[in-house]
Amino acid sequence: MSDHIEQQQDFMDNTAIASQNANCEPVQSEHFRAKYAGFWTRLWAYAIDLLVLSAISGIIIKPIFRIAGWEITNPSFFLFSAYKVTALLLLLLYFMLLTKYLQQTVGKMIMGIKVEAKEGGQLTWGAVIFREGVGRFISKMLFIPYLLVLFTPKKEALHDLFADTVVVHESSYEKVVGVSYRRRGEGQQLQEGTII
C-alpha cells in the first residue's frame, strides 16, 4: 500500500513539473570563464618556482652564511639548521607575497596561470596564509592532496579547498552554457514613456 502511495506522489510531482514546464520556455544563456589549470601545468609551475628558490638560496643566502661562518649542513636543533629555517622562511615569503600581490609566482607567470578567489575579488591575507602556509605544508607532507587536482571539478588541490581559491589560465577560456525557464508570453516590459 505504501508503494502505491509513493507512486501516486511521484506521479503528482512529475505532473506538476510537466505543467509548469508547459507554461515555460527555455532561455539559453552563455558566457565565458577562465579555464581551470590542470595538474601538469601546476606541477611545472611549482618545479620552476623551486628552481628559482634554489637559485636565490645559492646566490644570496649561502654566501651570507659562509661569510658569517655559520654551519650550512649540520643541524643544530631538532634536525633543523639555521640555514634550513632560513630557506623555509624564504619559501613561505616567496609564495605568500607573490601570491598576495601579483596572484602568481614566477613559475605561474611562465606557465600563464594565476590564483583567484573562488568567489571573485581580491585575495585576502587569511586566504593566502591558509593556502601557501598551512595548506601547502599539509600537501607537501602527504603529497596525495596534490593529486586532488585530477579529481575535483574545478581542479583544486587541498590548499585551494582550505583557502577557497582556484588556479586559472590567464588567456584561455571555456564557454559555459546555462538554461533557465521563463513563463511563456512574459517578455521584458518597457518603461513608461518609451518610444518604439
In the predicted model, is pLDDT for residue 112 greater than 80? Answer: yes
Report residue 15 as a C-alpha cell.
Answer: 505532473
How many of the other CB atoms lie within 10 Å of CB of 38?
14
What global pTM score does this model have? 0.72
At residue 191, the pLDDT reads 56
User: Cα(158)–Cα(147) distance, rounded to whole angstroms?
Assistant: 9
Tell me the three state secondary structure of residue 173. strand
- pLDDT greater at residue 110 or residue 14: 110
Q: Which of 8-12, 31-35, 132-136 has the lowest mean pLDDT?
A: 8-12
At residue 5, the pLDDT reads 44
Domain boundaries, the chain: 33-176
- pLDDT greater at residue 144 or residue 120: 120
At residue 147, the pLDDT reads 81
Phi/psi at 71 (nearest 5 deg)?
Answer: -70, 140
Dihedral angle at the C-alpha atoms of 99, 53, 112, 154, nearest 10 degrees? -60
User: Cα(190)–Cα(196) distance, rounded to whole angstroms?
Assistant: 9
